[in-house]
Structure 1
Amino acid sequence: MPRRSRRRGDAARAHALCLCRILLEARPAGLHFPQLRAACELTPAQTRSGLAMLRDLITERGWPPLIYTRHEGYQFTADPVELEIYETARVRVLLTEVRRLVTGTIAPHATLAPDDKRIRHIVTQLNAVESTLDLIA
């Protein structure tokens, strides 16, 4: 099931289509955020909402995946090696975020409220997520 952007309006869709056009024109090179903003003449918020909507449109329309690298910026690619590198890097970021959430917030909360069923459930679920992400990374 495709995820739904919180920014679903017609403006976000128009920004996404503009970003898509610019990225396709730049192929095979990628563009960094300031370059995308300048090429589409969008504000930072409009560019971010356009990128969020673009990821939804990619899913809906079966377009090639959009990745971001520090070296190349945003770009469409179907190269399995580039996709695997990007996916592994993103999973590692998510794994770090989950671990910090567990160790910095959830575990101390669980210590304060050891009988709270909701907190025990959250700990169990996040431990499962952490294990899964760890296997992927």
Structure 2
Amino acid sequence: MKISTSFTQNVCRVILGLLMILAGIGHLTFQREEFQAQVPRWLPTSDTFMDFVVVASGVVEILLGLAMVILFKYKVKVGIILAIFYVLIFPGNISQYTNSIDAFGLDTDLKRLVRLFFQPVLILWSLWSTGALVHLLNKQK
């Protein structure tokens, strides 16, 4: 899959990768409790299980972030995998909204609702910055 991306796309890909690494580090350290607020409440809510989910997703975020920065030869595949990851974690954001859970400064229903609209932006960012969006659209033809 050889897809050409612009300088702007490459910069955006690296920025997104670095943000993923930072978020992953946050999962493992200074934001660990905050991220527990996003574990869907339909999953077991024991502290041990919720901490496992936060740590596991943090490790995945660090790996995906590193892949976005380093594995530029596989950027299309990495972009698609990251977009899928964003879809898979979206229920956590919905759970935070529907259960009125405060975290990350999202202390009102309106703030939590607005946050939901940023997930599609992240999905598009991962697909656009890696050239995966063009690849997927060309496959449809």
For this structure pair, what is the TM-score category when the shorter chain's length is used for normalisation? 0.3 to 0.5
Name which structure has the greater RCO, CA cutoff 8 Å, separation 6+. 2
TM-score normalized by structure 2? 0.33
TM-score normalized by structure 1? 0.34
**Structure with larger Rg:** 1
